[in-house]
Amino acid sequence: MAETLFQKVWNAHAVRTRPSGQTQLFVGLHLIHEVTTPQAFDMLRQHGWRVAFPDRTFGTVDHIVPTDTQRRPFVDLMAEEMTTALERNCREFGIHLAGPGEAGGAGSPGSDDQGIVHVIGPELGLTQPGMTIACGDSHTSTHGALGAIALGIGTSQVRDVLASQCLSLDRLKVRRIDIEGRLAPGVYAKDVILTIIRRLGVQGGVGFAYEYGGSAVDRMTIEERMTLCNMSIEGGARAGYVNPDDTTFAFLRGRRFAPHGDAFGRAVAWWRSIASDADAPYDDRVRLDAASIEPTVTWGINPGQSVGIGEPLPSAPGDTAVDEALAFMGFAAGSRMEGTPIDVAFIGSCTNGRLSDLQEAARIVRGRRVAPGVKALVVPGSRAVSREAEALGLDEVFRRAGFEWRGAGCSMCLGMNTDRLEGRQVCASSSNRNFKGRQGSPTGRTLLMSPAMVAAAAIAGRVVDVRSLLNEVPA
């Protein structure tokens, strides 16, 4: 019988079906970080449980770590305490940690690998097709870009996965989303996913896994697919994935934790076999025309509230959600995002903090200057991304233009570390959430867009159509 990747992977990992109908699902890879695990480890100790599969557990620090300097001990004492707690827990339970380096030391083993958990998983080849992956972070859906079923979980579930390597879950339905045709220059995966969320709603994906496909997705790199899958959760879908193909296999070849030698060929055979069958049944299907997508910017307080750069903001008298968002943002119904002054430009996050994101942004920035009064920062998603970008001289391109070039971490995506908006600042951001208060100031305002659009906004000091800069050579 024809099946989707979701069904095949789910069935391969099902330990048993509970009488209630939930599946006890084996988790093939458990990624952990400093913010959602300390309580889980405490619960483990309290019950005297061990970590069931320490070899299938991998840790890093990303949310709370400072990105201005990562020398230990951190000036931020809570960052130091939470990092130390994770280091202690990983040591005690025998878990590999890609830490920031020991306090006062020259760097612990593996610390070259530190970075945002959803950036380093694929980068190290830990993330592979056909796996089930869990992490105490909703953007775990990112890993679906390689054909894995990856789920965000809470801390009690982190405890369960540590103790048993399993979760108890209801099976998801699958919605196939075909994006057909070619994206115009200046239009990126970020614009595609913002458009999908706008069309299907922030809640449209509840109960579903999103399977992305179609000719536009077939042409996407793995990094672009990661951007797409990353924001599945913003559309309510707990998981999103792309079927593995030659692009996937080429991406994985040679990565440290990917299979090597003969095993790689055998792996490819299995990976191909778990892709959705051509005639697989879907619970729903949606089709989008890639060519119709414009550079997209959010104007409101959830990721579904976005417009194409050429479109006016909605005018919906009496719609309380629209009214609330416009009032919070200080925008007028019917106005346009183009020309909106910005105070901060943030390039980074698990959505758009990978090398290709930085390269696209650097294309815009090269030979130009950040507008006066704009605080602009680039935060690579991992130390590996940093190193690769520096080898290409991108750090210099950004610095010369007036950007800060930071260490790896989540930084200004969320108000958990020292990078935060202040007051009513407006931030052009390549991150994933424009919720009220998300970037650390209760009244701060976030405009989500692609990294290239953020770069363009940084240069102009206001929201502009990145296509105008792509076509114009700087003096």
Q: Among residue numbers 414 through 433, which ones bind other proteins (CB under 8 A)?
A: 414-416, 433
Dig out the tokens for 367 from the structure.
């030979």
Dig out the tokens for 436 from the structure.
């009220």
Spatial separation of the C-alpha atoms in residues 44 and 39, rounded to whole Å:
9
Among 2, 75, 206, 250, binds other proteins (CB under 8 A): 206
Residue that the structure tokens 């095949």 belong to = 8
Q: Which of residues 224-243 bind other proteins (CB under 8 A)?
A: 233-234, 236, 238
Task: Tell how many helices (H) and how many strands (E) occur in the chain.
Answer: 17, 19
Residue that the structure tokens 């903001």 belong to = 313
20 vs 471 by CB, closer to other proteins: 20
Shortest distance, position 269 Cβ to other proteins, whole Å:
5
138 burial class (0-12, 13-18, 19+ CB within 10 angstroms)? Answer: middle
The reply on whether position 458 binds other proteins by CB under 8 A is no
- The secondary structure element, H or E, covering residue 297 is strand 296-298
Shortest distance, position 388 Cβ to other proteins, whole Å:
26
Among 153, 179, 290, 389, binds other proteins (CB under 8 A): 153
Q: Where are the alpha helices (DSSP H) in 173-273?
A: 189-200, 215-219, 222-230, 246-252, 262-273
Mark the segment that binds other proteins (CB under 8 A) among 115-123, 198-206, 220-228, 285-293: 198-206
32 vs 469 by CB, closer to other proteins: 32
Shortest distance, position 447 Cβ to other proteins, whole Å:
16
Q: Which of residues 34-93 bind other proteins (CB under 8 A)?
A: 35-36, 38-39, 42-43, 46-47, 49, 52-53, 56, 63-64, 78-79, 81-82, 85
Among 113, 160, 191, 419, binds other proteins (CB under 8 A): 160
* 15: Cα within 13 Å, side-chain hemisphere: 14
**Per-residue string for binding with other proteins, 378-417, x by CB under 8 A?**
------------------------------------xxx-
Spatial separation of the C-alpha atoms in residues 84 and 23, rounded to whole Å:
35
Nearest to 114 by CA among 165, 148, 67: 67
Mark the segment that binds other proteins (CB under 8 A) among 183-191, 213-221, 262-270, 290-298: 262-270
Shortest distance, position 222 Cβ to other proteins, whole Å:
18
Three-class secondary structure of residue 69 per DSSP: coil
